Amino acid sequence: MIIMKKILLFFAIITFAVPAQTKDPDKILNEVKENFDKIKDYSVDVTIKVDVSFLKVPDTKARIYFKKPDKTKVESKQFALLPKGALHISPASLIKGNYTALFDKFENYEGNKTAVIKTIPIGDSSQVILTTFWIDVTKYIIKKVEISTKVNGTFTINLNYDPNAKFAQLPSSLVFSFNISKLNIPKRFSEGIGDDKTDTTSNKPAIGKVYIGYFNYKVNQGIPDSLFEEKKEETRD
């Protein structure tokens, strides 16, 4: 009887010491935001590799500057296919506006326990229909995002992190995948695409990918607002 009481006491202690993982989607998303809020500003060097069958784009190097809440600047002497918003991925840019959040499930993703959460924008003004997050629930970082849009199809972003970095909530690399046939490509780049938008071997839409690597982060060292101001071109009389 005494032994049984000790066993029950042991399990009671374990139960209180290890609280159940929350399934509250808003709480999980807020944890992700608060984790990233520790980043006041940063600068980082990036390399960009575009893998699209009909585009011959050389590997690109750039430097990104970010300052809370949403100031971003990209410096590059080379052409980059992606807009600057795609080069800087943050919870603030992905989790914004009015939305309804739904907890889907816990899932093992690349060896990490993740919470799969879906957000649906409220109202008709958003171009996004549905966003699905895979969130590491031990570090509260976004591991994967799928964004379904009204016009440009579905985009997928896979993010990797350096666990030994001081600010491990900043990605070390990411892969941006998209359906080429749905992408709104400028006319000067889309001429002559033809059937390259479709994988002829399977009759499925071709998938384009952009690989981005981040190096030499400098975090919370102070970046002046003047850096983000657009320079006006001087005009001559």
What is residue 64's predicted lDDT score, i.e. its pLDDT? 92
What is residue 16's predicted lDDT score, i.e. its pLDDT? 45
- For 176-189, what is each residue's pLDDT tens digit? 998 876 555 554 44
What is residue 38's predicted lDDT score, i.e. its pLDDT? 93
Answer yes or no: are the C-beta atoms of 115 and 29 closer than 8 Å: no
What is residue 96's predicted lDDT score, i.e. its pLDDT? 80
CA atoms within 13 A on the CB side of 104: 13
Evaluate if pTM is beyond 0.95. Answer: no
What is residue 92's predicted lDDT score, i.e. its pLDDT? 75
What is residue 15's predicted lDDT score, i.e. its pLDDT? 42
In the chain, the amino acid numbered 189 is F
- For 86-129, what is each residue's pLDDT tens digit? 667 778 788 888 899 999 999 999 888 999 999 999 987 778 89
Answer yes or no: are the C-beta atoms of 161 and 172 closer than 8 Å: yes
What is residue 146's predicted lDDT score, i.e. its pLDDT? 95
What is residue 91's predicted lDDT score, i.e. its pLDDT? 82
In the chain, the amino acid numbered 62 is A
Rounded CA-CA distance 155/183 in Å is 10
What is residue 236's predicted lDDT score, i.e. its pLDDT? 43
Question: Can you list the domains of the chain with their CATH numbers?
Answer: 21-221 (2.50.20)
What is residue 20's predicted lDDT score, i.e. its pLDDT? 57
Q: Can you list the residues of the chain whose pLDDT is less than 70?
A: 1-20, 78-87, 181-205, 231-237
